[in-house]
A and B are shown apart, each in its own frame.
Chain A
Amino acid sequence: MTDKTDLIDAVKGKFADQILDQHNFRGDQTVTVKKDALIPLCLFLRDDPALAFDFLMDLTAVDYYKKNPVRYEVVYHFYSTKYNTRFRVKIPVSEDDCILETVCELWKTANWFEREIWDMYGIRFKGHPNLKRILMYEGFKGHPLRKDYPINKRQPLIGPLN
């Protein structure tokens, strides 16, 4: 547990006007950036030799329904095998403009993560090669991890799909 902010400072040096928020709660260095900064920031994190975040460890979303003015937040977890450091990037995504650039080109593994987010939250990814449902079946209505999807709602799948 350290109070280091070196990674946040490195990002701030380049993307100062794009950063909306930052914290290192419990030692996890985190920045919240504007949507447009996603791809440049990801390229910077991956290709800058002083950062070298070669791993996209996790990619998920959180639904702040009626809690935050901007409903969704897409959360990227990066890891660097070279420096053994972790970094979290959060992008707010509004309900009316539920679309984000894909990072499939940068990390192949993002493909399934982004499909899962589309499946569970209904956030689209521009440029994704195969944005289909992954855990739910084709024809499922709604996005189950949204906070306004009732937990006891049932959608039985009757009969095989073609």
Chain B
Amino acid sequence: MTVTEQGLLERDKDTMTLNMGPQHPSTHGVFRVVLEMDGEIVLSAVPDIGYLHTGIEKSSENKRYVHVIPMTDRLDYLNPPGNNLAFCLTTEKLLQVEIPGRAQYIRVIMCELTRIASHLLWLGTHALDIGAMTVFLYAWREREMILDLNEMISGVRMMTSFIRIGGVAKDATPEWIQGTRKFIDYFPEKIDEYESLLTKNPIWMDRTQGVGVFSREQAIDWSFSGPCLRASGVDFDFRKKRPYSGYENFRFEVPVGKNGDIYDRYRCRIQEMRESREILKQALDNLPDDGYKIADNKISLPPRKTLKTSMEALIHHFKLVSEGIKVPAGETYVPTEGPRGEVGFYIVSDGSNIPYRVKLRAPSFMAIPGMCHMMNGHFIADVVGIIGSVDIVMGEVDR
């Protein structure tokens, strides 16, 4: 402190710089934020990313289209089928192929199950950050069931790589359909259980209402998407606005918030889980029976048993495995609705079997600058709540 000419005490630069992360349990991955504090109040928050950079975009430009799919799982590692879907839809748009209804429905079922799993993970960790330990254990319990369902259909719990160009990897088995039915019958009362722990809980409301408020204009300016944007009152969901993969066949609501605070984001996501369950129910009830991949053997592999009897099938098999799919030259982009917002790949093809440019539009990457802007003027204890409420995944931020 210094004494000014008027004889007043003035605090000059009496702020503290606090480093949060990259190894901090509440930053949900290797994310670092440098906070400038005045006592308990955050004056500015400067994010620092790149710790998880693996050069997936560069690798994609040197791999065949089919080989990119397993890498897309590792981008947003809580939404692997959603990323597979975004990549496959864009490639299919370049190829101009129609996917059979059954394949589309299986895709939707996998994506909606994963959306629930992703929201459960978010709910558990976010509540744990704010101090509600029980929800974490409950949410994990149900998430485990979804991972078991993933394992049942694809053999893998998380990085399923199940959605392929031209369909899905395998047909849905009756056991898996049965298991999914069981899960959706069991799930609604569990959502009520989480809500009974949080929605009217005075501590939870105190910590979340009016904290981290983002207006409609701010949310659009900072390119928020997904539940964060909807919580700010923008009715924006690509499953409704520009349906893909058969979403136009399902009836569901898009929950929209009012205040744009942490509490509204929580309400939106909880409601979204219920709507996902509705979509799952309709998809299972109306599952078509027209094949799980397209018949065009220039894009999807011929059935294994035909290889020994059909010369043409053998040639197609050999060409697909040794050369891969040739995609017509051009550029395109397909927006899809992931659990965190708009996921889309911008693919530039030069007509060969290797994409010329692959760019992921990662919703978490876009959310971070806005999230840090949101922290200004808040208590340090709220920083953790704000990071949790935006639900970032560093895998897709750093790529």
- Collect the chain B residues with CB atoms within 8 Å of residue A75's CB: 346
User: Once bound together, how far apart are the Cα atoms of A160 and B234, in whole Å?
Assistant: 43
Q: A38 at interface (Cβ–Cβ under 8 A)?
A: no
Most-contacted residue by chain A among B55, B236, B333, B365 (CB, 10 A): B333
A15 CB, nearest partner CB in chain B, Å:
21
Q: How large is the interface on A (under 10, 10 to 19, 20 to 34, 35 or more residues)?
A: 35 or more
CB of B220 within 8 A of CB of A58, answer no
Interface residues of A in 43-86 (CB under 8 A from B): 54-58, 60, 62-63, 67, 75, 77, 79, 81, 84, 86
Q: Which of B59, B342, B366 contacts A109 (CB 8 A)?
A: B366
The interface-forming segment of B30-38, B165-173, B286-294, B356-364 is B356-364
Most-contacted residue by chain B among A111, A112, A149 (CB, 10 A): A112
User: Once bound together, how far apart are the Cα atoms of A129 and B241, in whole Å?
Assistant: 35
CB of A28 within 8 A of CB of B333, answer yes
| Count of interface residues, chain B, beta-carbon cutoff 8 Å | 42
Q: B96 at interface (Cβ–Cβ under 8 A)?
A: yes
CB of A134 within 8 A of CB of B368, answer no
Q: A136 at interface (Cβ–Cβ under 8 A)?
A: yes
User: Once bound together, how far apart are the Cα atoms of A60 and B236, in whole Å?
Assistant: 23
User: Once bound together, how far apart are the Cα atoms of A144 and B399, in whole Å?
Assistant: 13
- Collect the chain A residues with CB atoms within 8 Å of residue B399's CB: 135
- Return the CB mask of B241-254 against A: 1 if under 8 Å, else 0: 11000000000000
- Return the CB mask of B342-386 against A: 1 if under 8 Å, else 0: 101010101000001101010001101110010000000000000
28 contacts between A and B (CB under 8 A): A26-B330, A30-B331, A55-B220, A55-B223, A57-B335, A57-B344, A58-B344, A58-B346, A58-B361, A62-B356, A67-B350, A81-B234, A84-B242, A88-B333, A107-B221, A107-B223, A108-B370, A108-B373, A109-B223, A109-B366, A112-B369, A134-B50, A135-B49, A135-B53, A135-B398, A135-B399, A136-B50, A149-B58
Q: A107-B221, A136-B53, A145-B57 are in contact. List 13 more A-B contacts (CB 8 A).
A: A25-B331, A26-B96, A28-B331, A54-B220, A55-B220, A57-B342, A60-B346, A77-B361, A84-B242, A109-B221, A135-B53, A144-B58, A151-B59
Residues of A participating in the B interface, judged by any CB pair closer than 8 Å: 25-26, 28, 30, 54-58, 60, 62-63, 67, 75, 77, 79, 81, 84, 86, 88, 107-109, 111-112, 120, 133-137, 144-145, 149, 151
Those 7 A-B pairs whose CB atoms lie nearest each other, nearest first = A109-B223, A135-B50, A58-B361, A60-B359, A135-B53, A62-B357, A25-B330
